[in-house]
Amino acid sequence: MKFSNVILQSAAKVLVFIIMIYSIYILFAGHNNPGGGFIGGLITASAFTLLYLAFDVETVRDIIPLDFKIVGAIGVMLALLTGLASVLLGDNFLFQYYEYVNLPLLGKTGLGTAFVFDLGVYMAVVGTTMTIIRSISEDE
Amino acid sequence: MTKIAEILLGVVVLLGAIIAVISALGLIRLQDVYLRSHAATKSATLGVLFILSGVFLYFWIFQHHFSLKLLLGILFVFLTSPVAGHLNARAAYRSGVALWKGSVKDALKETAQNERREGEQKNR
């Protein structure tokens, strides 16, 4: 008996977007509010897991054609490169630059290199969690 | 004006808490899985929605903070909780949990039996 449920699938189609938007909000809110890369990555991974619960493995692979091992590796590389960039500019390893910039649509916004580090943590967490879940669920 | 709002918000949050208690009582008192999931899904959702909207209105009126997160939470609970209840009851029915002995009619019985027979034939 193949499990397919119309109610779960159509609910998942709506809910995945809400969860993804909220995880990206959490990722950006990390500097001044509760949140950050780790919890944002876990929320994104839970959205992907909801897709896996509602649809087939093949369907989800078509929707998200990502190799999550590579996503995790890129995340760790990003975190390392933000540390090395400050060394190249003559400061300590992982020195944080923070500046207020006038962006065209958002106005005065604080941009820090800590966000790039957080993005690296986010991608590493998404990659690790989805690799674990995929490798457990595909075992036959 | 703030006095009226205070009283109204208190009533809304208290109503939500009372509905949650009624739902917990339903979980204890009702007879089988399906009746219990009926109690747990509907009234617990309504209780949480009442409490969340009370908190949302409190932050809006008294703290002048329009919390989009709470609105999103209300929408999210409203969408997910019935689906979770449906999945629970469906999983219980498909794994063959019996109905309460006082129940009159089981309209799904034939379909479920056919499905189970087909599944057994495929497994062989």
The predicted-structure confidence for A52-103, as pLDDT tens digits, reads as follows 989 888 888 888 888 899 999 999 999 999 989 889 888 888 888 888 888 8
Q: Which residues of B touch A26 (CB under 8 A)?
A: none
Q: Which domain holds residue A13?
A: 6-139
Reported as a single tens digit per residue, the pLDDT across B12-23 is 999 999 999 999
Residue whose pair of structure tokens reads 């003559």 in the numeric block: A90
Reported as a single tens digit per residue, the pLDDT across A15-41 is 999 999 999 999 998 888 898 899 999
Question: What is the number of structural domains in chain A?
Answer: 1
Reported as a single tens digit per residue, the pLDDT across B44-56 is 999 999 999 999 9
CA A125 – CA A49 distance, rounded (Å): 14
Evaluate if residue A1 carries a pLDDT over 50: no
Q: Is B103 on the interface with A (CB under 8 A)?
A: no
**B91 in Cβ contact with A1 (< 8 Å):** no
Subunit contact B80:A22, Cβ cutoff 8 A:
no
Q: What share of chain B is helix, strand, coil (3-state, %, to 5)?
A: 80, 0, 20
- Shortest CA distance from A26: residue in chain B: B69
Instruction: Sketch the domain layout of chain B as residue ranges.
Output: 2-98
pTM to 2 decimal places: 0.84
- Shortest CA distance from B116: residue in chain A: A1
Evaluate if residue A107 carries a pLDDT over 80: no
Angle at the Cα of A8 from the Cα atoms of A125 and A71, rounded to 5 degrees: 20
